[in-house]
Amino acid sequence: MPENQNLLYRALPSMSVLLNCITNAGYHADEPWAAPCLSSLADVPRTLLRESVENFLDNCRIAIREGEITDSSLLSLPALLPDLVEYAIRRTSPSLRRVLNATGIIIHTNLGRSRLAEEAVTAVAEAARYPSNLEFDLQKGTRGSRHSHVASLICRMTGAQAALAVNNNAAAVLLVLDTLCRDREVIVSRGELVEIGGNFRIPDVIKKSGCLLREVGTTNRTHLSDFRLALSEHTGAILKVHTSNYRIIGFTQEAGRAELAALANSASLPFIEDLGSGVLVDLAAQGFPHLGAEPAVAKVIADGADIVTFSGDKVLGGPQAGIIAGKLKYIEQIAKNPLLRALRMDKLNLAALEATLRLYLEPTLARTRIPTLRMMTTTADELLPRARKLARLLKKTLPAQKDGWLVAVRSGISQVGGGAFPEMNLPTWLTTMAHPSPHFNPAHLQKMLLQTKPPLLARVEDNALRLDLRTLDDREIPLAAAVLAQTAAPMFKPPCAGASKY
Ligand SMILES: *Cc1c(COP(=O)(O)O)cnc(C)c1O
């Protein structure tokens, strides 16, 4: 081992010194690195901190061995501590964290889909903090059903005779098929045998629920007669599936809902429709004609669907849930399935779902209070001041003449996401960031923003970072501006006099 490497190893501060420094950050409060340390490491369990310091020291030893550190001044306490603090914060932060969504995708499955309305957030906190009548009938003073809290609200919104809510829509589909069609055939149009994402494939769910898939028609065209010819004594149901983020266009044909329902009923079978998103309010009637493209659940039920299923956290704008609504005789059977116990909702999501559904009692309240619906119905004109505000804040901290950053406001397109309204483009306003340096790579900036506190997700297009204000609310704009400025500012040193490469 080279002599100076030996010296370097010995120059490394000890475990106990480093641990002491970062756990007693107050002692170093006058050091610049101590500030983030004080706020971010104060509540971290000591065992986690110790692990972080151990790993950090291991990394230093590797860096010495590999010849990356050759100067002992790099191993002094003041030199190491800022890196150690950053490393420890990164390693010990909770895994599930808040992020800023500047993608313009409203129902972003990877970002937790719908945000809850404040009313729902309050209801969740209350249900979490105190005991509740989750399964207790306060009228009778006896055991009650957790399913009672949302059933009548769902019936009101959909016109269904009865309803049930379970863990998510995948569970809803599984439970419905398992109850009504086990060991029998489920007839589905070939064009609807889709994969929704996250491995939810209709043929697999049918198989898992113990049913036999009977596909009919062709990929692009399926006629009512295809269904009629497939009916037999083995049939359990006719299933229609919303193809979500997938469309067949051109020479197409599908059997109508009312005809399918009539056909199924003539054979005393249920007609089931998996709607995916499920719209509870007529947004076209509220002055948003383009949002009338998806039929409301009430219309689907009025058209004859015996059972519909849809998600709680897509267009409905509530928590993760799967809603099953339809004819009483089927819902009664489903409610008796022992599988329901495994697929039931938890009390926090139930509280959120009830609070969200209550907002629908007043359609305009639903549209303005439920973030998903609010974001869907915000017009581009309303978004322009927000995009300008973000641009203004960015220009203030990243002055163009000093740092060279080009901040602008541009029109663009947002998307609903979650498989709903797949072809709909919502006009929006974006704040864009670019830099004339040949070294500027917006994808690099995009990646660095995943490490900020909180992380920020944005799109990259036309060699610029694009921030869609549709999915950032007013209160998030200063925070977004702060993490953007903090990340962008050090990327390009200000041009030196006479040696500018810009
Ligand atoms: C999203 C979706 C599902 C799955 O719903 P989850 O609530 O995510 O379980 C099932 N079917 C369709 C058509 C969907 O769009």
Q: What is the pLDDT of residues 213-268, one digit of tens each?
A: 999 999 899 999 999 999 999 999 999 999 887 788 888 888 899 999 999 999 99
Domain 115-369 has CATH 3.40.50.720: no
**311, 323, 343, 349: which to mutate for ligand 1, most atoms within 8 A of CB?**
311
CB atoms within 10 A of CB 491: 18
Residue 145 DSSP one-character state: -
pLDDT band at residue 465, thresholds of 50, 70 and 90?
very high
CA of 196 to the centre of ligand 1 (A): 7
CA of 225 to the centre of ligand 1 (A): 28
CB atoms within 10 A of CB 79: 13
Measured distance CA(191)–CA(222) in Å, rounded? 8
242 lines ligand 1 (CB under 6 A): yes
What does the pLDDT read at residue 368? 96
15: Cα separation from own chain's centroid: 40
Task: Please answer whether residues 197 and 277 qualify as being in contact, where contact means their C-beta atoms are separated by less than 8 angstroms.
Answer: no
Residue 297 vs residues 114, 282, 283, 358: alpha-carbon distances, Å: 18, 9, 12, 16
Measured distance CA(239)–CA(192) in Å, rounded? 9
Atom 11 (ligand 1) nearest CA: 276
What does the pLDDT read at residue 96? 95
Measured distance CA(30)–CA(35) in Å, rounded? 8
Residue length of the chain: 502
Least reliable range by pLDDT among 36-45, 390-399, 441-450: 36-45
276 lines ligand 1 (CB under 6 A): yes
Q: Where in the chain is the domain with CATH 3.40.640.10?
A: 115-369
State phi, psi for 141 to the nearest 5 degrees.
70, 25
CA of 85 to the centre of ligand 1 (A): 42
pLDDT band at residue 502, thresholds of 50, 70 and 90?
very low
Report H helices in 76-168: 77-92, 118-129, 148-158
What does the pLDDT read at residue 496? 43
What does the pLDDT read at residue 31? 59
Highest mean predicted confidence (pLDDT) among 29-38, 352-361, 489-498: 352-361
Instruction: Give pTM, 2 decimals.
Output: 0.90
With a cut of 60, say whether residue 26 has pLDDT above it. Answer: no
With a cut of 80, say whether residue 495 has pLDDT above it. Answer: no
Phi-psi sector, 429: left (phi>0), alpha (psi -120 to 50), beta: beta
What percentage of the chain carries pLDDT values higher than 90? Answer: 75
Atom 14 (ligand 1) nearest CA: 276
CA of 215 to the centre of ligand 1 (A): 20
- pLDDT digits 0-9 by tens, 130-150: 999 999 999 999 999 999 999
With a cut of 80, say whether residue 33 has pLDDT above it. Answer: no
With a cut of 60, say whether residue 499 has pLDDT above it. Answer: no
196 lines ligand 1 (CB under 6 A): yes
168 lines ligand 1 (CB under 6 A): yes
CA-based end-to-end distance of the chain: 46
State phi, psi for 307 to the nearest 5 degrees.
-140, 130
Q: Where in the chain is the domain with CATH 3.90.1150.180?
A: 100-109+377-488
**200, 320, 353, 416: which to mutate for ligand 1, most atoms within 8 A of CB?**
200
CA of 202 to the centre of ligand 1 (A): 10
274 lines ligand 1 (CB under 6 A): yes
Mean pLDDT of the chain: 91
State phi, psi for 273 to the nearest 5 degrees.
-125, 120
CA of 344 to the centre of ligand 1 (A): 16
Atom 13 (ligand 1) nearest CA: 276
Mean pLDDT for 2-16 is: 87
Measured distance CA(502)–CA(499) in Å, rounded? 9
What percentage of the chain carries pLDDT values higher than 70? Answer: 94
CA of 310 to the centre of ligand 1 (A): 7
What does the pLDDT read at residue 244? 80
Atom 12 (ligand 1) nearest CA: 276
pLDDT band at residue 190, thresholds of 50, 70 and 90?
very high
Least reliable range by pLDDT among 118-132, 246-260, 304-318: 246-260
**113, 196, 297, 343: which to mutate for ligand 1, most atoms within 8 A of CB?**
196
With a cut of 80, say whether residue 54 has pLDDT above it. Answer: yes
Residue with tokens 């483009």: 425
What are 136's strand-pairing partners?
143
pLDDT band at residue 20, thresholds of 50, 70 and 90?
confident
Mean pLDDT for 466-471 is: 98
CA of 388 to the centre of ligand 1 (A): 36
User: Could you identify the atom of ligand 1 that is nearest to the CA of residue 171?
Assistant: 9
What does the pLDDT read at residue 501? 35
Domain 100-109+377-488 has CATH 3.90.1150.180: yes
Mean pLDDT for 448-472 is: 96
State phi, psi for 164 to the nearest 5 degrees.
-150, 145
The identity of residue 319, as a single letter, is P
CA of 435 to the centre of ligand 1 (A): 41
What are 427's strand-pairing partners?
413
Mean pLDDT for 479-499 is: 77
What are 272's strand-pairing partners?
239, 307
What does the pLDDT read at residue 186? 98
Task: Please answer whether residues 382 and 422 qualify as being in contact, where contact means their C-beta atoms are separated by less than 8 angstroms.
Answer: no
Mean pLDDT for 484-499 is: 70
What are 221's strand-pairing partners?
253
CA of 39 to the centre of ligand 1 (A): 40
What the block records as the tokens of 7 is 């010296």
With a cut of 80, say whether residue 319 has pLDDT above it. Answer: yes
CA of 146 to the centre of ligand 1 (A): 23
User: Could you identify the atom of ligand 1 that is nearest to the CA of residue 241?
Assistant: 13
Q: Which of 354, 288, 290, 319 lies closest to 151 in space, CA to CA?
A: 354
